[in-house]
Amino acid sequence: MTNQSTGPHPEPADGAGEFNREVIAEFRARAGVVGGGLSGLPLLLLTVLGARSGEPRTTPLVHLRDGARLVVFASNGGSATDPLWYRNLVAHPEVTVEVGGERYPAVATPVDPAEHDALWARQIAAQPQFAEFRTDARTVPLVALTRA
């Protein structure tokens, strides 16, 4: 696979935490392969511009392939609030995706409510732990990433 974007990789946000920084470094060093507790999970790196800062922020996320697009889940580990990366991409939907050894620009769009539940069910079938992230108080936003 080719790197279709030019320039250096953006660094994780300062507040990303050591765990995410290590995952990002391993992902990039091993062309998308990560070990440990994340071994075997379909991961990607999503880089979005900060809603207020305008600075690039990179986050590792689990994804689900849906045809030509990738779907990510703003579960925030089951928190009652949306993750920062989701709020950032709502403000700036032009993103960069790294998956495997490939890096490319994409557009992030919220998944249409008509297809939300079917995609969520596919994700739970693939990774049952995701069922714990949805509550009656909050429907997890799903975001489709489409190559620009």
CA distances from 16 to 9, 34, 118 (A): 15, 17, 31
Distance CA(65)–CA(131), nearest Å, equals: 18
pLDDT tens for the chain, 148 residues long, are 333 444 455 555 544 588 889 999 999 999 999 998 888 889 999 999 999 999 999 999 999 999 999 999 998 888 888 899 999 999 999 999 999 989 999 999 999 999 999 999 999 999 898 888 877 677 899 999 999 9
| Contacts of range 37-42, beta carbons closer than 8 Å, 24 or more positions apart | 41/127
Distance CA(79)–CA(129), nearest Å, equals: 14
pTM: 0.85
Q: Helices then strands (H, E): number in the chain?
A: 3, 6
